[in-house]
Structure 1
Amino acid sequence: MTRPGTARRARRPRGLLLAVPAFAALALSACSSGTAGTPHSPAGTSGAPATGRATSAPASGAPATASSSTASGPAKTVHVSSLEGDGGTYGVGMPIVLRFTPAPTDSSAFTKAATVTVNGQPANGAWYWEQTTADEKKTNTYEAHYRPKGYWPPNATIAVKLPIGGLSAGKGLVYSDKLTSITFQTGDAHVSTVDGQTETMRVTSNGRLVKTLKVSLGKAQTPTYTGTKVVMQKGEANPSGSGLRPDGAVRMVGTDPNDRYNLIVPWSVRVTMSGEYVHAASWNGGNIGVRSTSNGCTNLNVGDAKWFYKFSQIGDVVTYSNTGGTKMPSWDGFGDWNVPWGMWAQGGLLLNH
């Protein structure tokens, strides 16, 4: 039987580090969703992206609008929305992700005004500005991602204050005043370590080993990315529009003429935009724990995959080594932790930062 895996997206030019667009459709690939969707909330009750608290925001959660005038005359309003849902719970690897439309041209006023605290104390992290991948379609949207130097502490309260309404976002641009704050929690620190040499995944919670699972990673022709990945989606939306597919299932499609498939694969946890999953692989039991034979995904025995799916939360960390692959690009999902801190702290792409 064929083995669902992952088909790589075209590589981005070096020097332009891009991250997964917060609200863009996920890529359709050999080991990806057949029905495009967005990262699911931890509750897994909706395929819609979470939005932060917005004063007088529409009930739909769509970004609110603001006046486009300032004391100095008319200016275009930069609308701001949040990937994190206010009051939500996420894993310790989840970056704060804000999306700005149209794109600011100067981030200095935002950076000075915005604050992030952990349990009431300064987070001492940094904002990193990126052109969203959705800008392939010329949507003129930027994202600002925030993370500390290390992972968030477990079971902590993260508060983001955004007193940015009316501040300059560059010449002729001002920020909307609708999104003023976001508060969310971290859950237990779920950090899993996958080793391609031993074909194992060690799963920890708050530093304690919970389970060691057998895996099969990408074969030599389609190796699994190394580096730090973050759980970005559990299962996928049901095409019927009623919640999620049952049993954490995802449609995976292979278009290689020599390896075509169109399967519904249960207990699937997405860790890259380009289509790497940790998922059940009943067809590959003889290789799991022995050798790497997938098209890039992390294959688990069905019982282990079901357990991992239920254990996981959006924002959990999964690190990979000894896979034979290159490091996961920062733009291919929540690859923020693969950007060295010294580079991250410089602030990314915007000028006058």
Structure 2
Amino acid sequence: MNRSANVRSIRSGSGRVVAGILAVAVMALVTVELHARLTPFGIVTYPANGTAMADPRLAVTAEPVGVGTRIAAVELREDDGTVVTAAREPERFEFPPPLAFGKHYTLTVTVERIWSNEKRTEVAEFTTVGMPTLEGPPDRSLAPDASVTLVFDQPVGKLEPVGGLKLAVQPDETRTVFRLHASDYTQGSTYPTQIRWETTTGVPLPPFELRISTPPPVSADVNLRGAENLGTAMPLQITFSEPLAERENAGRQVRIQTQDGKEMTGKWGWIGKTRLQFTPLNGWPPSSVIRVSAEPGAFRGVQGGYLEPPLDLSFSTGTDRKIFVYLDTQTMTAVENGQTVRTFKVSTGKPQTPTVTGSFYIYARFPTKTMKSRAKKGEKGHYIVENVPYAQYFYSDYAFHGAWWHNGFGRPASHGCVNMSTQKHNVRWPKAPEDAGWLYQWASLGVPVTVMHSPPSSTSTRIALEEPQRDRPGVRSSPSP
């Protein structure tokens, strides 16, 4: 009995041991299965899948997730299929920066876990942030308002100019148009300027270079600068290097005063696009010094430049001289300070080529001049006369000058000019009086000239200088002798 009970007892204990071992094994398997199911298994990438504006300055990475998980293979491709990099069984994947701006990439990573016989492939697609494109060339010029406009094809974040040119930045609401306003610059210079910028997400972009040119300064050439012994009718002309931005106000910027500080009155007007003319009312005061001045920056050109040095000059007038030509008597009278100083016989234009009448002034003078007609060689009226002495132009192609080719003074004989007796180059009448030379020495630029058919009934010799003067910038073609 006892032995049989013992045997049964041993068998029962062995069964319980086996059962226990089996239970432990089962539990272990269940635990392993549960651990495998509950333990994470996968990949974490940067940039994450679907990123649209990845920072190309940061490395591309792939990290296995879960106990025992490892990378089996990895590949990074560009959108066109180009393989950027590939590796098998790396412990950790990291592709160093930088990537290209504005490109689409595909990162394919396979991970595995051997003890659980797991394997997985994941694909992460991302696009790096695009670099905005600047429209236009790198060489720029300041606009008349001292600004430069930069236009991009997509919004830009921070934008900072760096260089010797001080620029204030003003973006529009879309941040695709930026106006850079310059200040404290040297005219007629070029400033290398670096533009540092970022995307709207704060990603720094490679800087680019601009060359910004400032407008040239405006220069002013004054016809009467330093002139002496001028006649009283010569208008003041200021010729600018370019058209001005505010033409209608240009004359207000100029002060014209006599030596005792009296302001001169007159009319301002434009001749063409760049020449500003002042005609004094009733002429300049005789035997006076006239000063002309304007402050720095008084004139601004259409390109944005301005007059840098102040305008400061003077000129002087001579005595009150006037010239009168009477066509009916074929005479000319020189009047100084209201007194007739000399009367000459002259030859004016023939009936077919009459001398112009009206009030004028001497605007150009030449000791000797070659005169030719406007008619070309072979055409009716063509001529060329060399060595014409003492030419003084008073209107267009009309002039006083010596005529050594005839001695018929006192009757019409010219093509419109006022012929005068001369000894210079005169071989046929060596005793002819030097009337042309005397007038040349006595007169000067700006001396008023009046041509009329006959002397006025009044004894007054006053010329109506308030009449608008015509443009006489120079000799367009030589006058008819």
| TM-score (structure 1 length as normaliser) | 0.61
CA distance 1:171–1:250, change in 2 (3 Å): closer
Q: List alignment gaps of at least 5 residues for structure 1.
A: 1-65, 132-140, 236-247, 335-353
Instruction: State percent identity of aligned pairs.
Output: 26
Q: RCO higher in 1 or 2 (8 Å CA, sep ≥ 6)?
A: 1
SS at match of 1:127: strand
Counterpart of 1:183 in 2: which secondary structure? strand
Q: Tell me what 1:101 maps to.
A: 241
Contact 1:83 1:96 (C-alpha < 8 Å) held by counterparts: yes
Please give the secondary structure, in 2, of the residue aligned with 1:153: coil
Deviation at 1:210, TM superposition (A): 0.5
Gap change, CA 1:112 and 1:252, over 3 Å in 2: closer
Q: Where does residue 372 of structure 2 map in the other structure? A: 253
2:277 matches 1:152? no
Q: Contact conserved, 1:109 with 1:168, CA < 8 A, in 2?
A: no
- In structure 2, the residue matched to 1:110 is 250
**Residue identity opposite 1:305 in structure 2:** A
C-alpha distance 167-93 of structure 1, shift in aligned 2 (>3 A): closer
1:263 matched to 2:383 = no
Comparing both structures, which one devotes a greater share of its residues to strand? 2
Q: How many residues align?
A: 238
CA contact (8 A) 2:230 2:317 kept: yes
- C-alpha distance 328-216 of structure 1, shift in aligned 2 (>3 A): farther
What is the DSSP-based 3-state SS (H/G/I as helix, E as strand, rest coil) of the residue aligned with 1:160?
strand
Task: Verify the 8 A CA contact 1:229 1:328 in the aligned structure 2.
Answer: no
Q: CA distance change for structure 1 residues 252 and 277 in 2, over 3 Å: closer, same or farther?
A: same
Displacement after TM superposition at 1:207 (Å): 1.1
Shift of the 321–68 alpha-carbon distance from structure 1 to 2, 3 Å rule, reads same
Does 2:262 match 1:121? yes
Contact 1:67/1:176, CA 8 A, preserved across alignment: no
Q: CA deviation at 1:320?
A: 1.0
The answer as to whether partners of 2:299 and 2:307 remain within 8 angstroms in 1 is no
Q: Which residue of 2 aligns with 1:293?
A: 413
CA distance in 1, matches of 2:306, 2:230: 27
Give 1:299-314 correspondences, 5 Å limit: 299-302=419-422, 303-314=434-445
Q: Greater CA radius of gyration, 1 or 2?
A: 2
Q: 1:79 aligns with which of 197, 219, 222?
A: 219
The CA deviation string for residues 17-69 of structure 1, in whole angstroms up to 9 with x for no partner, is xxxxxxxxxxxxxxxxxxxxxxxxxxxxxxxxxxxxxxxxxxxxxxxxx8259
Is there any run of 5+ residues in structure 2 with no aligned partner, and where?
1-185, 190-212, 423-433, 455-466, 475-481
Which amino acid letter does the alignment assign opposite residue 341 of structure 2? V
**Which runs of at least 4 in structure 1 moved beyond 6 Å after TM superposition?**
none
| Structure 1 residue 161, shift from structure 2 partner | 0.9
TM superposition score normalised by structure 2 = 0.45
Provide the rounded CA distance (Å) in 1 between the counterparts of 2:310 and 2:445. 22
Q: 1:251 to 1:170 in 2, by over 3 A?
A: closer
Within 5 Å, which residues of 2 pair with 1:44-59?
A: none
- C-alpha deviation, 1:203, in angstroms: 0.6
Q: Secondary structure at the match of 1:90?
A: coil
Q: Structure 2 CA distance, aligned partners of 1:329 and 1:93?
A: 9
How large is the RMSD of aligned CA atoms in angstroms?
Answer: 2.7
The one-letter amino acid of 2:243's match is A
- 8 Å contact 1:249–1:265 — kept in the other structure? yes
